[in-house]
Structure 1
Amino acid sequence: MGFSDHLLETGTDLWDAQLRHPFVRELADGSLDEAAFRVWLEQDYLYLLDYARTFAILGAKATDEPTMAHCFEVATAVVGEEMDLHRSFAAEYGLTAADLAAARKTPTCEAYTSFLLRTARERPLAVGVAAVYPCGQGYADVAEEMAELADGRHSYTPFIRKYTSDAFVESVAWMRELVDRCAEAHPSLRGEMAAAFRRSAELEYAFWEMAYTGEEWPSERASAEVV
């Protein structure tokens, strides 16, 4: 068993919770409230900007050329292809590129992106790689579950297709292999890698919850109540 598989085994509770989350189940059958999906679009757009920055940092820390090159390729692909996908989704839900850029991170999104960037900057490459692993593997597994639950085409079908595509599955396989190589090369860091993986997995679940509940900063909610 590779270390990436070990991490997934230790995170089974969080993985199962993600698959059962109403955001995931309702997106799969097409019944998800559009307001919840708009929140996800805005927040994931902001998340991806820092996700790309995280991979750029990991690439700078890599000591072998193939890993360095691939990390930079991931960062470029996120800023290009995946951001374009979000902008096209957003247009269908009345959100412009300017709306996405002007959105403010929710507390959960802020916590998640800050954790990824801080880990990538301050900790060894192996720990940073473990921190980003739950995002890729999580979306691949969630989308696979959605594809099994989906019954016919609906407005969210492009989301499911994106994260079950061969290209995305291959990118996750590369990430899994990198986790295994890092754990093999640095066994003393496995405990810290596991802790980083667990924290990101918790934040992945919180991200679905944030979008589904329309999370706001307490100050924004208080201001709205005063008005």
Structure 2
Amino acid sequence: MAFSDHLLDAGEHVWEAQKKHPFVTELAAGTLDSAAFETWVRQDYRYLLDYARLFAIAGTKARDEETMTHLLGIAHQVLDEEMDLHREFAADYGISEAELETTEKAPTCVAYTNFLLRTAYEGSIAEIAAALYPCMQGYLDVAEHMDSLAEGEHQYTPFIETYTSDEFREATAWCREFVDRCGDRYPGEHDAMEAAFLTSAKLEYRFWEMAYTLEGWGL
């Protein structure tokens, strides 16, 4: 069994919880409260800045030129393309770029990005691969689930189309292969990889919850 498949088996309960979350099911139906989606846009914008940093740091730890080039390329792609997508989403809701940049991270976003950056700085390339994998594979799997639930087009169709696109599928496939290569090269790190994967997966679930409940600091 490929190590990426082993990780997905280990995280199956988290995947199922994500697919059943009301943010996911209501977005698929087009009934999600716009305030919840706006919260997701704002928080994911802040998340992506650190996600790009994760790939950039991973690139500096890669031992071969091809992997280094690809990881740094993904960091650039996140900053150059996916951030633009969020700015477009935000503009549709009257949120300016300045507002995105000054949005305060919610507690869950802080927890997730802090975990990723700590893994990036302190962890091995194998742990980084496992930590970044749930975001890529999770969004593809959840978006495919949304697509299967959706009946016709609605305001959230562009979200579903983005994360089921050929480009996103290709990016996810590369990340899956990256995890498998690390699993093969570093068998002694399997436990650490699984721990990193499950922590990120659980935080992915909490990210949906954060947006749905409009999580804040209460201060």
TM-score (norm: length of structure 2): 0.99
Match of 1:206 in 2: 206
Match of 1:147 in 2: 147
TM-aligned CA deviation for residue 70 of structure 1: 0.5
Aligned pairs for 1:192-203 (under 5 A) are 192-203=192-203
**Matched residues in 2 for 1:151 and 1:194: separation?**
36
TM-aligned CA deviation for residue 10 of structure 1: 0.7
Aligned pairs for 1:50-89 (under 5 A) are 50-89=50-89
TM-aligned CA deviation for residue 73 of structure 1: 0.6
Residue aligned with 1:170, SS: helix
Cα RMSD between the aligned structures? 0.5
Match of 1:98 in 2: 98
Q: Which amino acid aligns with 1:156?
A: Y
Q: Which runs of 5+ in 2 are unaligned?
A: none
Residue aligned with 1:164, SS: coil
Q: Which amino acid aligns with 2:175?
A: M
Q: Which amino acid aligns with 1:87?
A: R
Residue aligned with 2:104, SS: coil
Match of 1:120 in 2: 120
Tell me if 1:27 matches 2:27: yes
**Matched residues in 1 for 2:122 and 2:191: separation?**
16
Match of 2:168 in 1: 168
Aligned pairs for 1:123-138 (under 5 A) are 123-138=123-138
**Matched residues in 1 for 2:88 and 2:4: separation?**
33
Q: Which amino acid aligns with 2:19?
A: L
**Matched residues in 2 for 1:10 and 1:53: separation?**
27
Tell me if 1:8 matches 2:8: yes
How many correspondences in the alignment?
219
TM-aligned CA deviation for residue 142 of structure 1: 0.4
**Matched residues in 2 for 1:123 and 1:84: separation?**
30
TM-aligned CA deviation for residue 171 of structure 1: 0.4
TM-aligned CA deviation for residue 185 of structure 1: 0.3
TM-aligned CA deviation for residue 111 of structure 1: 0.4
TM-aligned CA deviation for residue 94 of structure 1: 1.1
Residue aligned with 2:207, SS: helix
Match of 1:45 in 2: 45
Match of 1:224 in 2: none
TM-score (norm: length of structure 1): 0.96
